Structure formats: structure tokens, C-alpha cells
Amino acid sequence: MKKLLFSSFFVVLIHLLMRPLGQRIGQSHYIKSAVIQTDYRFSIICRAEVENHIRILLLQQLGNHEKLLLKSLSSDDYEDPQKAIITAEIHAASQQDSFMERVASLLTIEEKVMKVSWEIIGTQSDL
């Protein structure tokens, strides 16, 4: 019984003595978190008649995000003049994969959009 009391007392004492040290370590920033700047390519294949509408939707989505910068936006015929491919290159101040997927999902449900895809084309760490 004495051993149990002594062990319990010892554990509580160590906890009380080490708590301030743990709090100081927790407040200091030894490791800077890495911010990964990311470049994306967004591709949308749609009917030529909705090309401008889809470009506007894409620009609206990207314009609402403060960490994104549109680097280029182009449209070309895709396989035949009835289809268009819209390609956007986007720079993000930090990784924005989930946002890219949300935009892709939004554009996929638009009428006369056949395919939407995005990919990471480059990264740079700020460590």
C-alpha cells in the first residue's frame, strides 16, 4: 500500500514540476511549418457554345480566393470546332487541392461540359 501511495505521489510531483517546462516548449516555435506554393493546370472540355460561360464561371471562382493568382487562360478547339478546351494555369500561395476539386465539381455539373480535370504542375517550399 505504501508503494502505491509513494508511486502516485511521485507521478503527481513530476507532473507538477515538469508542467511549466512543457508549456514553455509548447509555446516556442522550433520547427517552422513549410508553406508549399503550388502551380496548377485546370482543363475543361466543353461544347463551343458554352465556352464563354464556362470561362466566366471559372474566373468567378478563382477571383473569390485570395491565395490564388491566374497566370494564364486560353481556349482552343478540341478535336473538332464544336468542342473547346479551356486551359488555366493558376499559382497558389499555399496548397489548394481541396479548393481545386470543389471548382472542378462545380464545373462538372454545368450543362455541355464534358470533362474537367486539374493537376499540380509545380511546387516550391518556403522553408
Total-model pTM: 0.70
CA-to-CA distance for 35 and 37, rounded, in angstroms? 6
What fold characterizes domain 36-125? Alpha-Beta Plaits (3.30.70)
- Torsion angle, CA of 73/78/81/87, rounded to 10 degrees? -10
For range 58-80, the mean pLDDT: 93
pLDDT by residue (tens digit) across 111-125?
999 999 999 999 988
DSSP secondary structure code for residue 5 in this structure? H
- pLDDT tens digits, residue range 99-108? 999 999 999 9
Local confidence band at 28 (pLDDT 50, 70, 90 cut-offs): low
- How confident is the model at residue 88, as a pLDDT? 97
Contact 30, 44 (CB under 8 A): no
Q: Is 89 left (phi over 0), alpha (psi -120 to 50) or beta?
A: beta
